[in-house]
Structures are given as structure tokens and as C-alpha cells.
């Protein structure tokens, strides 16, 4: 049987295991911080995440299909979330003329207010990050992007809107290690984007 990184003897035998255990702790912290925020507004974590996403993304991404992919849940579960947010008067639906079953989701003023307040739920993480040097931050960002890219390639997570999966991204360009052909700019490592509004999915990743 394969050893688990949560088996303490095995975990303490090499740093890879301890990095995975540390990522799990951070993921748990996100859940706790989100849950605390949800309780304040009598909403569930996915309802809060949906409001924050709607506040920060363009209309073409504010559909049930896109949200279901974004949060790795079924369309039926996402539709239920939207229904409840609508009953709470936090969102409205704008039906498309050519297909009356499809709609774009908009935040109401009340929904926007909650999205803005709750989107600060990760603030505590800035404290340890502020202690890192610029080069440590660059390395950290690159490593995290590498992990996210792998998780997407293996189908564990769906949509990603980061430079490494974008049709406009060129590595090792003559103007720099990272280059955006859409914006026509050299990107420093610290400029690499995790969620870019201009992102276009590269077919062959």
C-alpha cells in the first residue's frame, strides 16, 4: 500500500509530504475563514463564493454553466444556489432573447454590498506574505502556478485563467522570459496573472 503524506512517520521523512500537509492546512484555513464570513450573512460558503465571483467577472462568465465549471459542481447544484440567491434578492437573471432557458446573472445592490464586504475574507494572509522578499514572492507565485497548472492538466480542477494556459502567452520571448502578445508587454514573474480578464484558453496546454 502506498504511503500517505498524512501518515506522520512518512510525513516527517521528506519535505514533499510536509509541503502537502502544509497546503492542506492552508486549504482548511480558507474554508474556516469563508465559513466565518458566511455565518455573518446567513449564507453558505458557495453562495458567498458565487457573489464574489459575480462581482469580479464579466457578463460572459456570469452564467450557470460557467459558474458550475468554475466551482467544479454540477449545473443542477449551481442552479439551486442561484435560485436561493435570487430568493434572497442578491442577484437578478437577465434572460437571453434567442434562448429563454439561458440567462446572465447580475448582482443587486444588496448582493454587491455583501460581495464587497466578504471578498476581504483572506486579509489575514497578507501578514505573513508581507514578510517575504520580492524574489521569495516570485518563486512562491511560480511554484503555486505550477501546482495549479498540473491540477488542471490532470482534470482535478476545471477552468483556469492564468498566463500559462493562455493563447497570448509566450515563454522565452526575445523580450523576456514571459511575454503577453495581446497586451504586447514583457511580464515580470511577479506580473504573471492567475485570473486575467483577457485570458483565452490555449487548446494544447
The residues of the shown chain that bind ligand SF4, judged by CB under 6 A, are 163, 166, 168-169, 180, 182-183, 193, 196, 198-199
- Alpha-carbon distance 103 to 66, whole Å? 11
Min separation Cβ 5 and ligand SF4, Å: 32
Min separation Cβ 122 and ligand SF4, Å: 21
Strand partners, 161: 195
In this complex, which beta carbon is closest to ligand SF4, that of residue 24 or of residue 200? 200
Min separation Cβ 205 and ligand SF4, Å: 13
In this complex, which beta carbon is closest to ligand SF4, that of residue 62 or of residue 199? 199
Strand partners, 91: 107
- Alpha-carbon distance 54 to 30, whole Å? 19
Min separation Cβ 42 and ligand SF4, Å: 36
- Alpha-carbon distance 110 to 113, whole Å? 5
In this complex, which beta carbon is closest to ligand SF4, that of residue 33 or of residue 187? 187
Cβ contact 116:56 at 8 Å? no
Can you give the three-state secondary structure of 10-65, one letter per residue?
Answer: HHCCCHHHHHHHHHHHHHHHHHHHHHHHHHHCCCCHHHHHHHHHHHHCCHHHCCHH
In this complex, which beta carbon is closest to ligand SF4, that of residue 39 or of residue 202? 202
In this complex, which beta carbon is closest to ligand SF4, that of residue 120 or of residue 182? 182
Min separation Cβ 58 and ligand SF4, Å: 13
Amino acid at each position: 500500500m502506498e504511503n500517505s503524506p498524512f501518515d506522520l512517520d512518512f510525513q516527517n521523512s521528506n519535505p514533499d509530504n510536509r509541503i502537502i500537509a502544509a497546503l492542506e492546512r492552508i486549504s482548511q484555513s480558507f474554508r474556516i475563514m469563508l465559513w466565518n464570513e458566511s455565518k455573518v450573512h446567513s449564507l453558505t460558503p458557495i453562495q458567498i463564493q458565487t457573489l464574489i465571483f459575480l462581482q469580479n467577472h464579466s457578463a460572459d462568465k456570469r452564467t450557470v454553466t460557467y459558474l458550475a465549471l468554475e466551482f467544479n459542481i454540477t449545473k443542477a447544484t449551481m442552479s439551486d444556489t442561484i435560485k436561493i440567491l435570487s430568493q434572497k434578492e442578491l442577484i437578478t437573471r437577465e434572460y437571453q432573447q434567442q434562448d429563454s432557458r439561458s440567462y446572465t446573472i447580475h448582482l443587486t445592490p444588496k448582493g454587491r454590498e455583501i460581495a464587497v464586504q466578504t471578498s476581504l475574507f483572506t486579509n489575514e494572509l497578507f501578514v505573513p506574505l508581507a514578510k517575504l522578499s520580492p524574489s521569495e514572492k516570485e518563486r512562491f507565485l511560480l511554484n503555486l502556478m505550477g501546482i495549479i497548472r498540473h491540477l488542471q492538466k490532470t482534470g482535478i480542477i476545471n477552468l483556469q485563467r492564468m498566463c500559462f494556459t493562455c493563447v497570448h502567452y509566450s515563454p522565452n520571448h526575445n523580450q523576456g522570459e514571459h511575454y503577453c502578445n495581446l497586451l504586447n508587454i514583457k511580464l515580470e514573474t511577479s506580473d504573471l496573472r492567475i485570473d486575467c480578464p483577457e485570458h483565452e484558453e490555449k487548446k494544447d496546454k
